[in-house]
A and B are shown apart, each in its own frame.
Chain A
């Protein structure tokens, strides 16, 4: 019982981090039909940039570390906004409506961004610690609950609820939902859908960069392969949850997080295979994903 509680707890925390990465990917695909292969690289860039600031300010030792951590998070978000804007305007915008070239262009961006990470911060693994305040654990029902994991879960839930409210209530949220369904008609109603695209792309990239930064203290390290490894997971999550569905991404991310946690305990090399299997089954039964709109 304790074992399962621990694994479920870990799985949900991992799932929440994956959600931060997948939500943007899903919205970008759902609205813009762009399968963004650069997403993992942008996630990684955010992780490095935020961690750089975090370490530069003083790192994880001492009472001020939570403050440095917060500034690192902010830096990751700012980098996300800047990168998202640059990438959308200079490359993706030029090839809307052409799936093949979109995939190619975003792959090119992925290559460049991944290499830039190595140019700026080297190819070595960088150790990252948790800020002191979040480093402890609390025991309940014979299970140790790590504070950082609790923080991640709370953060993920806030982002999820915030996104759902925004999509439900705000004008831009309505436009995004309408655009996921029918871009052409949104245009014909007098809305410049391109501006909405730019907004969503920046939003998704920012979420990914924040997720990347939070990933470091979670795993204890960041490395130049994390972008590629996690992008594949994020793709699987998006395919399972349904392209364009934020709720679906959340459900699928937790599902994948749980399977990661269980497989990590019982048979680590099989984690990806199990996630693949889930994806294959979902796609065969319902190609639009769990919560994807049936069109």
Chain B
């Protein structure tokens, strides 16, 4: 069945609207501009109320991981595939930036080279991993992404002359304080605003992507792959697009992460632990909602920080992941729409009953 997909005529150009009939009403109907604008304004005002670097640092990381989680949601929520190797793109981004800041004397050149290298690498890797695995049974995608990501992890650990092995390296000294003449990346507030601009821009871009004909076709594939294939769509082609978009955006998030934490090591930016974190964020927040991914990132970041702080009270708090593991299982079994999705369903049910 699947082997015939390539031979099927691609009808996207002639009938872009066909998949609309499959659209699920769990999707956002209209963008709620007011909430969006209010939250953005609130976030812009945060530095006025606090000068605490640790608060800004945490919020910045939530923005960045929020983008990373949204890119994961493109795969899990909008395409219906589970990747166990999404961290590799994040790691590629973070390592590109770290390495090129270390090796280039000119900060602008370093940043631009890192940006180009990360985008190109993420594009190539996501394209070929997708090409290899997406044409096989859906479960192989999880398997192959896990394996390829592990190879990246091992490479980062072993190629010591370049990556300094499993210790990683700190590049605070190389962080530009006068990028393009006006950006001081050593200033937490600047990085905070950069992160805010980043998440707003990426959110709008991904929304745009989801409501594009390609995005709608992807959701139709998620609902019923065979039917979309029988309508003449090349399913593999669409899944590949989603895979590449998600990979490149994850790479960009990795770049931002490098600016924020100024340090990379294999397990923190390439490890499967990171992929599992982002899986938790997406599922707990709400699969297939984008906003859920951001909410999930916030919840996990803040509560893990808080629970780790309690480890002096009792060492069990160091194992906070256990709690999230249980919550995660319960959500998958009983509230598959996650927090945002479930709230949205309730809200909709109430409105329609009035």
Contact = CB atoms under 8 A, between A and B. Distances in A.
Direct contact of A and B (CB under 8 A): yes
Interface of A: 29, 35, 37, 91, 94-95, 99-101, 103-105, 107-109, 111-112, 115-116, 118-119, 228, 232, 235-236, 239, 269, 272-273, 276, 279-280, 283-284, 287
Contacts of A37: 142
Contacts of B151: 272-273, 276
Nearest to A112: B325
Nearest to B82: A103
A29 B151 CA distance: 24
Nearest to A118: B319
B200 to A, nearest CB: 29
Contacts of A112: 322, 325-326, 329
Interface in B270-285: 272, 276, 279, 283
Given A108-B328, A116-B322, A235 B283 contact: no
A283 B123 CA distance: 23
A28 B138 CA distance: 16
The 4 A-B pairs with the shortest beta carbon distances in the complex, nearest first, are A111-B325, A108-B329, A112-B325, A115-B322
A41 to B, nearest CB: 10
Contact of A104 (B82, B150, B272): B82
Contacts of A103: 82, 139, 142
Interface string B258-277: 00000000000000100010
A95 B140 CA distance: 19
30 contacts: A29-B139, A91-B329, A95-B333, A100-B80, A100-B82, A101-B336, A103-B82, A104-B279, A105-B329, A107-B276, A107-B279, A108-B332, A109-B329, A111-B328, A112-B329, A115-B321, A115-B325, A116-B322, A239-B143, A269-B154, A269-B157, A269-B158, A272-B147, A272-B150, A272-B151, A272-B154, A276-B147, A279-B147, A280-B132, A283-B132
B137 interface: yes
Interface in B109-162: 132, 136-140, 142-144, 146-148, 150-151, 154-155, 157-158
B324 interface: yes
Nearest to B81: A100
A228 B267 CA distance: 13
B24 to A, nearest CB: 15
B343 interface: no
Contacts of B154: 269, 272-273
B136 A283 contact: yes
B183 interface: no
A280 B128 CA distance: 12
B322 A111 contact: yes
B28 interface: no
A228 B271 CA distance: 11
Contacts of A284: 132
A105 B150 contact: no
State which size class the interface on B falls in. Answer: 35 or more
Contact of B322 (A99, A119, A280): A119
B140 A239 contact: yes
Given A103-B142, A276-B151, A287-B136, A95 B322 contact: no
Contact of A35 (B143, B322, B333): B143
A232 B329 contact: no
Contacts of B333: 91, 94-95, 101, 105
- Tell me the dominant secondary structure on chain A's binding face: helix
A287 B322 CA distance: 36
Given A118-B319, A276-B151, 19 more contacts: A91-B333, A94-B333, A103-B139, A104-B279, A104-B283, A105-B333, A107-B276, A107-B328, A108-B326, A108-B329, A109-B329, A119-B322, A232-B146, A232-B150, A269-B154, A272-B154, A273-B154, A283-B140, A287-B136
Nearest to A280: B132
B27 interface: no
A109 B333 CA distance: 12
B197 interface: no
A275 B321 CA distance: 31
A111 B139 contact: no
B188 to A, nearest CB: 32
Interface string B301-335: 00000000000000010010110111011001100
Nearest to A94: B333
A234 to B, nearest CB: 10
B226 to A, nearest CB: 14
Nearest to A108: B329
A91 B137 CA distance: 23
Q: Of residues B136, B144, B279, B325, which shows the largest number of chain A Cβ atoms within 10 Å of its Cβ?
A: B325
Contacts of B332: 95, 101, 104-105, 108
A34 to B, nearest CB: 9
A94 B325 CA distance: 17
A108 B146 CA distance: 16
A235 B326 contact: no
Q: Of residues A91, A107, A273, A284, which shows the largest number of chain B Cβ atoms within 10 Å of its Cβ?
A: A107
A105 to B, nearest CB: 5
Contacts of A111: 276, 321-322, 324-325, 328
Nearest to A98: B336
A232 B316 CA distance: 28
A118 B137 CA distance: 34
B321 A35 contact: no
Nearest to B316: A119
Contacts of B324: 111
Interface in B70-108: 76, 80, 82
